[in-house]
Structure 1
Amino acid sequence: MSERLVVIGGDATGMSAASQARRHKSPEQLEIVAFERSHFTSYSACGIPYWVGGDVEDRDDLIARTPEEHRERAIDLRMRTEVTELDVAGSRVRTRDLESGAESWTGYDHLVIATGARPVRPPLPGIDAPGVHGVQTLDDGQALLDSLSALERTDGRRAVVVGAGYIGVEMAEALLHRGYEVTVLNRGEQPMATLDPDMGRLVHRAMDGMGITTVGSSTVTKILTGDDGRVRAVATDDAEYAADVVVLGMGVEPETRLAQAAGLPLGTYGGLLTDLAMRVRGHENIWAGGDCVEVLDLVSGRERHIALGTHANKHGQIIGANVGGGYATFPGVVGTAVSKVCDLEIARTGLREKDARDVGLRYVTATVESTSRAGYFPGAAPMTVKMIAERRTGRLLGVQIVGREGAAKRVDIAAVALTAGMTVEQMTALDLGYAPPFSPVWDPVLVAARKAVAAVRAAGV
């Protein structure tokens, strides 16, 4: 007798789980039903800013697998269908067809919750006005492009981006490429709150040099509209910024309202809590992954919410293997992320100073300025590396990098070192590749490690 797997969400985690489960079990052994409320499946949301900016030519380039391709693999994928209720006791979900309005119940033996995250969208006056856009889904990206196309013949086009995190700075670049005068409004003093303020200041300075006006310590109070109802400006506590289009980039939060209503366990950040196998704690047949869960931070030992496609795909693979009768685990993360704004590369992994203080760690820091290649080699570009180490042990706690070409991916060295629990002294002996076109004799990360070793010794116990 076959079992049924029900998947809520048709993007990275959901369809990775469905596909992996299908590899393990045939349709005769496992029926798979997946529900997706949007028009698209298995796409790269991270690529939306580059599609809007013109680096990616076609929307379909962001789609890894279409609904038809999933169905060819014997996955019953039902598009434009929203799950509205979880009945955990009855092992079933209620769904609504968004086109017809028809509702029905579907039972399950295994349930995968892959509902993702929702953009932070505060209830400000005017926030739903035409010309105000989020960029969470392909539908959002298409709506923004349609809005920009309608403004193509407008002189002096002005864009305001609210928020200066990953999405905010990437969308600022996209709009700059499209010929807009761009202003970024940020609640914090410096952009990129995932960095320490001293490193965020480097990003701020670089963005200003690119022609992007970045306003820190700025709280948006309302969106102002014109006589036609469209957005005309964004108001803060002390100023107004004219805008033909507004993009919201204020971050995301786990989409767990269904799970909460069903009484499933949530963490500090509102994400679902799972075990190492990605099974929802206390529920043998319910699994969850992607942007709707919290994961273990291997450095701090605490749960965190990190919305990244890299984790989401891994979660799906692990869930699918376990549902299919195999065994796989997800041990945790160190918080690695990279981004860019024009030619500036931004990277971080591990803890910031604030994070270290929050968990009661005593630490030292070391910051160095170096270049991406040997200083005499053409194209050598500057970069700044900041390293944080535990004061007594010298254990690496975190690394942040801001620089030009060749800077961001160096953070992977630190990500591996963090995962291995290395000290900064151990890092200085790493056998990294060297040639003048790729690195100075001492790679910038190793230079920072040497300086961190000195800081640990100077600090003593």
Structure 2
Amino acid sequence: MKLVVIGAVAAGLSAASKAKREKPELEIEVYTSEEHISYGACGLPYYIEEKIGSSEKLIARTKEEFKKQGIKVVTKSLVEQINPEEKTILVKDLDNDENKTVNFDSLLIATGASPIMPPLDGINLDNIFTVKNIPDADKIKKQIPNTKKVVIVGGGYIGLEMVEAFYAHGLDITVIEMAPQLMGNIDSDMAGVIAEHLKEKGVNVCSGEKVESFQGEKAVESVKTDKGTYHADMVIMAIGVSPNSQLAKNAGIKLGVKNSIKTNRKMETSVKDIYAAGDCTAAYHLLYEDDAYIPLGTTANKQGRLAGENIAGGNSHFQGIIGTGIMKVLDLEVGRTGLNTREAKQLEKDFYETVITIPNIAGYYPGHGKGKMKLIVEKGSGKVLGCQLVGPKGIAKRIDTVAACIHNENTIWDMAKLDLAYAPPFSPVWDPVLMAANVAINKFKK
């Protein structure tokens, strides 16, 4: 039996490793067009910031380590075609431009996603970058000494993490976001806290502006929007990603939400013996009760591991996601899980909100500060539907407690009964999660 994997980052190598552990006799080959494998893409902004001194620290395991495990990883090899009926793939060696055909018994597609690059005038000028892999990060790092002004297009996770990276280098930063607010997956009042913090730090935040073109001769010199023009020595495009699903589509594999590869909860595609996992796929959302495209490293690793187990003969099902995310931008931490108010309205939930000011630790302990927490609760049942947190150090990781409550369909009364840890360096005596639950209970009674 032979497993072939397309893609050698989170989902692909998680699947290969799990399949090999479950079925040691399985022959496994992994193909990737990239030079680097098994790297932590989420660490790239911190590598650019130089909090992480070497790109090697981002690499979890090398080709040699996988070889010792009995997994063959072939880099700089582009898979150009999947032939489901023949159970073969066509692979192009990018070093010598030669093609070869590879047979498989089972195939996992883990082709990931690519940054969206809209067809705007000047988009191909030099010094306009995306942040997808280590070579991207190296190009950005190389350009920083020649940069005074940087424009970041997009105010989501990657865009805001890049603010922190460039802030450490003392650059003049402008963030341009087409939507009326930063961080479109949280509510506007919570996003407003982030925008104000950035402005206080000297970052130019331009929400509700649409980029129309990039100007310059060879390299970018300015960014033109529908409201103004901004000088730029460098531009970072961070407006989102799209799934790399064309290879699957060409093979007759069904696509789903936002053109991601459609799978069942066993990670099987519409074609027998072909699986998919990671950022090229959607994931079942427990609150949507449907598929959603929310590409995150945590989901990719889980899906890959589950796919590997099933390829090796298992019968596991992906439990689903609720959109839990966390990030740091300068002195603020941000966490979110479940539904925001826009999503709750779209799903026609009958809900109410509880918004409170919260401390991160005991008020008398050094480093204490205030943040904001929003809890979204279903009116009839009291079930927790969503949560958002914005505040100083120590605030955001509390989102995991709320995520566990949502995952287990807990109510605000269940949440209020949790036995949470307390010590002054970590929490006030009433943890913010308990505070929010109790305020929500009082509001429920009214």
Letter in 2 for 1:67: K
2:17 partner letter: S
Cα distance in 1 for partners of 2:233, 2:261 equals: 38
**What is the Cα deviation at residue 457 of structure 1?**
2.9
> Displacement, 1:293?
0.9
Q: State the Cα distance separating 1:25 from its structure 2 match.
A: 2.5
Answering whether residue 8 of structure 2 is matched by residue 10 of structure 1, we say yes
- Aligned equivalent of 1:278: 267
Match of 1:55 among 30, 51, 54: 51
The CA deviation at 1:376 is 2.2
What residue number does 2:82 align with? 86
Specify which of 185, 192, 205 is matched with residue 176 of structure 2.
185
Q: Which residue of 2 aligns with 1:409?
A: 397
Residues 392 and 456 in structure 1, CA contact (< 8 A), matched pair in contact too: no
- 1:120 matched to 2:116? The reply is yes
**Greater Cα shift, 437-446 or 54-63:** 437-446
List alignment gaps of at least 5 residues for structure 2: none
* 1:191 shift after superposition: 0.9
Counting only pairs closer than 5 Å after superposition, residues 206-355 of structure 1 correspond to structure 2 as 206-226=197-217, 229-280=218-269, 282-355=270-343
Residue 368 in 1 paired to residue 356 in 2? yes
Q: Please say if residues 63 and 72 of structure 2, whose CA atoms lie closer than 8 Å, have aligned partners that are also in contact.
A: no
Q: CA deviation at 1:436?
A: 2.1
In the other structure, the counterpart of 2:105 is 109
Q: Equivalents in 1 of 2:287, 2:384: separation in Å?
A: 9
Q: Which residue of 1 aligns with 2:185?
A: 194
| 2:18 aligned partner | 20
> Which AA in structure 1 matches 2:286?
L
Instruction: Choose 188-197 or 408-417, whichever is displaced more.
Output: 188-197
Aligned partners of 1:225, 1:365: CA distance in 2, in Å?
47
Q: Distance in 2 between matches of 1:215 and 1:15?
A: 39
CA offset digits 1:25-44 (Å, max 9, x no partner): 23xx3211111001100000
Is the 1:349–1:399 contact (alpha carbons within 8 Å) kept by the matching residues of 2? yes
SS across alignment from 1:292? coil
Query: Which residue in the other structure is 1:174 paired with?
Result: 165
Post-superposition offset of 1:367: 0.3
Q: Is the 8 A contact 1:40 1:67 kept in 2?
A: no
Q: What is the number of residues matched between the two proteins?
A: 446
Asked if the contact 2:14–2:308 (Cα under 8 Å) also holds between the matched residues in 1, the reply is yes
**What is the rounded CA distance, in whole Å, between the counterparts of 2:180 and 2:353 in structure 1?**
21
Query: Post-superposition shift, 1:299?
Result: 1.8
* Paired amino acid for 1:15: L
In the alignment, is the contact (CA less than 8 A) between 1:277 and 1:330 conserved in 2?
A: yes
Task: List per-residue Cα deviations over 1:365-398 (Å, max 9, x = no partner).
Answer: 0000010112222221111000001121111110
Deviations 1:187-243 (A, max 9, x none): 1121111111110001100111111111100100011113xx111011101211001
Q: CA deviation at 1:426?
A: 1.6
The answer as to 2:155 corresponding to 1:164 is yes
CA apart distance, 1:148: 2.0
Using structure 1 for the length normalisation, give the TM-score: 0.94
Would you say the 8 A contact 2:153–2:159 is kept in 1? yes
Pair 1:381-2:369 in alignment: yes
In the alignment, what sits opposite 2:40? 44
Letter in 1 for 2:158: I
The letter for the 1-side match of 2:13 is M
SS of alignment partner, residue 253 of structure 1: strand
Runs of 4+ residues over 6 Å off in structure 1: none
- Partners of 2:62 and 2:397 in 1: CA distance: 30
